[in-house]
Chains A and B, each alone.
Chain A
Amino acid sequence: MKKFLFLFFITTSNLTHSEVVWYPSPVEAYKLGEVYPEAQRLLFAFDYGHALVYEKLMLKKGDIKNPKDLEKELLSKVFNILNNPPHIKMDEGDIAPNYVYKFPLIINLFDWSHMLHQYVLDVLATSEDRGPLMIARINELYEKYKSNKSVMITDECKSMLFMDGHYFSKSFRRQFPSFNLLIWSYHWFQIRLYEDLLFPTKMERDVAVAKTIEQFKYLISDLPDSAEFEMMPETAIEAPSFAKIFPKIPAAFDNNHMLHDIVSDMITSDKVPTEKLRAEALRMGRMAQDPEAFKTKKCNQYNEYNK
């Protein structure tokens, strides 16, 4: 009986969530933190903040009587983290067990994609070569990302309707406008770093990263007014040089960011009852992987619309 229970536990826990591993870990992994510790700690804080908010919203699902008050409470918790960001990456399972249980596929998609985000930044921050070798190394990491199809978010451009075109869409942004703008500010910060780290000299990169950290602090200084985003920031617009050198990576990142908004909307929308959440999350995760779903030739770049 004990053996049976043990086997049952092992089997079901694997069904609930199995972690993705990037093996072997790149030699540059997490070296960004050695060069730009403040930026790296903020990135760790964002992961922590995302997980914390998802968990709180999961626990309150269907019982949010006063979104304004809840938003205030959530913001105060997250600002505590942002003001004292962690030095290491936190495990989402420790912070947000309910969220991890309901969104197993999406968590794996995020993990795999976040590893690519992180390692690209690590290479950009530390590569001695600032030309072909650095570009080749990032492309090598990107090939590795693409090789794991079961957890890869597609790099085909999706229109914003992927984020906003569902029956539950815009729920989070309308109930929690400040928090939504905080998340868009996170996304802006992440993608802006790609552009900053492309500057040829260390001095220029230092200045650019310092400026982005300052701008990020300004963006979140008086939410919602301080963050003037009217739509989710997009990689090719905020990091145009990066998008030119690595034309497929921006869409993979933007699709990841849109999927974050989709998760927030599903959790907060009354149209997605708790018992439907896991199935809908799987459906949305598959959609994020599907290169044909919401595919656009416009690549979400508004300058493209002029062509």
Chain B
Amino acid sequence: MKNAKLFLISLVFVSLSNSVLLAADTASVTLGKVVELGCHRLERLVTLGKIDESFLTKINSIQITKLQPTKPTDPSFKVVVTQYSGADGTANQVDLMMDANGKGIAQTLRAGADAQNAPVWNDKDAVSLVENSLHYIFESNDSEIKLFVTGLSYLRLKQVNNDRGEKSARVQMNSTDSSKILEITMKEDGTVESANTVNP
């Protein structure tokens, strides 16, 4: 009986300790990191068949908005993933609602027309290219680039030709912490070729 009591006390103690650990983990994450976690969420949703595969291959842009939660269950971020638009000008979209740690808690699909003229990528899919560009800014020591980790608000993926005429991926990023646009150009395999800030 005594042992059972001790066991129950320990159970409560361990549960409380875990809650404390969880609470310690709830530090807010950067906007750039939330977008990366949004990409992971998107991949999981596609892999589990909850949204269409075109969300991996035909992404055009990702927008992130910081929300003002009023209760613990409210989302802290909204990440909107938009595909290339279709014939009527509308586009498939998914809104990902994320908690304070950047974990996906809900999603809403907004159906549009099937993407037209979305670039074809031979090596990596569109979402992996976006992830590569995000990893690049996370690893950068450049103070100007770091502003796009902390304040990332919007990114757009497009296909360009480099000066050798090869197909390249370019991710353009906007940040609330910078008046400039960051352009990251990658080979189709996701290797970064250049990163420059330009005036809008």
Q: Which residues of A are in contact with B by a Cβ distance under 8 Å?
A: 159-161, 164-165, 167, 169-170, 173-174, 177, 199, 201, 203-204, 206-208, 211, 224-225, 230-231, 237, 240, 296-298, 302-303, 305-306
Which 5 A-B pairs rank lowest in CB-CB distance, beginning with the nearest?
Answer: A230-B40, A207-B10, A177-B47, A203-B10, A305-B33
Q: List 24 A-B contacts (CB under 8 A).
A: A159-B138, A160-B135, A161-B132, A165-B190, A173-B47, A177-B47, A203-B6, A204-B13, A206-B7, A207-B11, A211-B14, A224-B47, A230-B37, A230-B43, A230-B104, A231-B37, A296-B139, A302-B29, A302-B37, A303-B27, A303-B29, A305-B32, A306-B27, A306-B30
Q: Does B177 contact A (CB under 8 A)?
A: no
Residues of B within 8 A of A204 (CB): 10, 13-14
Residues of B within 8 A of A224 (CB): 47-48
Q: Which residues of B are in contact with A by a Cβ distance under 8 Å?
A: 6-7, 10-11, 13-15, 17, 21, 24-25, 27-30, 32-33, 37, 40-41, 43-44, 47-48, 101-104, 123, 128, 131-132, 135, 138-139, 149, 189-190
CB pair A298 B11 closer than 8 Å: no
CA A297 to CA B139, docked complex, whole Å? 7
CA A114 to CA B28, docked complex, whole Å? 34
CA A296 to CA B43, docked complex, whole Å? 23
CB pair A230 B41 closer than 8 Å: yes
CB pair A206 B10 closer than 8 Å: yes
Report the minimum CB–CB distance from B187 to chain A (whole Å): 11
Given contacts A174-B47, A237-B25, list 9 more A-B pairs with CB under 8 A. A164-B128, A165-B135, A204-B14, A207-B7, A224-B47, A240-B24, A240-B25, A305-B30, A306-B30
CA A203 to CA B21, docked complex, whole Å? 19
Which of B29, B48, B102, B135 meets A177, CB within 8 Å? B48
Report the minimum CB–CB distance from A166 to chain B (whole Å): 9
CA A211 to CA B62, docked complex, whole Å? 39
CB pair B40 A201 closer than 8 Å: no
Residues of A within 8 A of B13 (CB): 204, 207
Residue of A nearest to B46 (CB): A174
Residues of A within 8 A of B138 (CB): 159, 296, 298, 305
Residue of A nearest to B102 (CB): A302
Report the minimum CB–CB distance from B189 to chain A (whole Å): 6
Residue of B nearest to A195 (CB): B21
Q: Decide: A225 near B14, CB < 8 A? Known: A161-B132, A203-B6, A230-B41.
A: no
Report the minimum CB–CB distance from A265 to chain B (whole Å): 13
CA A231 to CA B86, docked complex, whole Å? 31
Report the minimum CB–CB distance from A58 to chain B (whole Å): 23
Residues of A within 8 A of B101 (CB): 302
CB pair B10 A225 closer than 8 Å: no
CA A166 to CA B10, docked complex, whole Å? 46
CA A14 to CA B14, docked complex, whole Å? 49
Q: Decide: A165 near B132, CB < 8 A? Known: A174-B47, A302-B102.
A: yes
Report the minimum CB–CB distance from A67 to chain B (whole Å): 11
CA A296 to CA B134, docked complex, whole Å? 13
CB pair A167 B47 closer than 8 Å: no
Residue of A nearest to B28 (CB): A306
Q: Decide: A201 near B10, CB < 8 A? Known: A160-B135, A167-B123, A174-B47.
A: yes
CA A160 to CA B30, docked complex, whole Å? 17
Residues of B within 8 A of A240 (CB): 21, 24-25
CB pair A170 B128 closer than 8 Å: yes
Residue of B nearest to A237 (CB): B25
Report the minimum CB–CB distance from B131 to chain A (whole Å): 7
CB pair B40 A303 closer than 8 Å: no
Residues of A within 8 A of B6 (CB): 203
Residues of B within 8 A of A159 (CB): 135, 138-139
Residues of B within 8 A of A302 (CB): 29, 33, 37, 101-102
Report the minimum CB–CB distance from B137 to chain A (whole Å): 10
CB pair A207 B14 closer than 8 Å: yes
CA A298 to CA B134, docked complex, whole Å? 13
CA A161 to CA B191, docked complex, whole Å? 11
CA A146 to CA B31, docked complex, whole Å? 37
CA A265 to CA B17, docked complex, whole Å? 37
Residue of A nearest to B33 (CB): A305
Residues of A within 8 A of B102 (CB): 302
CB pair B104 A306 closer than 8 Å: no
